[in-house]
Amino acid sequence: MAKELVYLVTGGSGFIGERIVQLLLKQDYVKEVIIFDIYENESIKHWHTASATITFIKGDITNFNQILAAVKGVHVVIHTAALVDYLDICPLKKLEAINVEGTEHVLNACWAMEVRYILYTSSVSAAGPNTNSHPMARFTEETISEGELLLSYGKTKARAEQLILLANGRQTSKGDKIVTCAIRASTIYGEKVQHLLDSYQSAKSKNNQINYIEPENAEKNYTYVGNVAWMHVLAARQMQLNPERLGGQMYYAYDNTPFKKSVKLTHELFTEIDPSIQIGAHIPYWKMWLIVSFYNLMRFLVRPFWHLKPFMTLPILKLITTTFYHETDKASRHFGYRPLYTWVESKHLTCKWLKHAIHSQQKN
């Protein structure tokens, strides 16, 4: 197949975006990949291939004119750019400006420039948990979540996702129909996850013990970043080949990672590089609630003189201790998704990066 398609990836220098770009450059139908981001990843300079070109455009997702210029001549947009705030500390207006209004800019620019295919990177936070911490297990894309979403970040991702899906079928000035769909990413692990490095250093400082908060019955989904990116690449292509099937659809990201508890996944990864690491003590919810509440009170009292960064908030404590995981094969049924990386490969690549990151930190 001749290389003919031009893709634009908003947030292409980011955690998921850069992996999507790397995979797109290897596809035989891609002529050019354009990255639209506020900063340029240094590794971009090494991504060029012999047959596919890569272009970086520095721009802000909140600036409509910059987006409008960037999508000119593009066939497919993968919109990953977002302000991610799992600590729930960013002002709501800022989250709305980037996650919601920025998505509106992308949609309107694509409509104006006759770009028909738009794939959106959503989040499981757009589904829950809710403020009542109601557990949800084995839910699917068809499950209707009720109640107010727990995180402001999740609220903005849900609104943006709705904008994307409702735009499916909208006609351009030439009469062509826009095709949209969304992929909800769950908790992602892999190379460049700073939380993994921080957790390892924390375990080493606590006599090689991984202390944890989540109760025994709390479960979540964990997906390797390379597989999340691969699902994007496949879905973006199948939107063009089978628009009636994928148009207006939402898919949860998943792979064959065997763990649904954070502490067990973390322990499995750490022991690959350091067998001395052990699972430590469980910290009860009530104790953690007191610690977080006291810390937040201290932050408030010293705010005029000193800015303390929160290490956790009460909404995040609820998130950690609530069962919330999906079980689906919709992406496989709709567009033939299979994980590109096995669990063994995902673990190996993550541990290889982690080992290098630990070594670099120790040298410094």
CA distance 335 to 358: 39
CA distance 52 to 48: 7
Conformational region of residue 248, where left means phi above 0, alpha means psi within -120 to 50, and beta covers everything else: left
* Per annotation, catalytic residue among 117, 120, 153, 200: 153
CA dihedral 268, 274, 278, 281 (to 10 degrees): -100
- Evaluate whether 105 touches 81 at the Cβ level (below 8 Å): no
Rounded distance, CA 186 to CA 170, Å? 29
How is the beta sheet containing 76-79 ordered, strand by strand?
A: 53-58, 30-37, 5-10, 76-79, 117-123, 179-185, 249-252
What backbone torsions phi and psi does residue 124 show, to the nearest 5 degrees? -60, -20
Q: Determine the number of helices (DSSP H) and then strands (DSSP E) in the chain.
A: 13, 13
Active site residue 153: yes
CA dist., res. 31 & res. 48, Å (int): 12
Question: If you write DSSP's letter for every residue of 305-327 in order, what string do you get?
Answer: T--PPPS--HHHHHHHTS-EEE-
- Cite the active site residues: 153
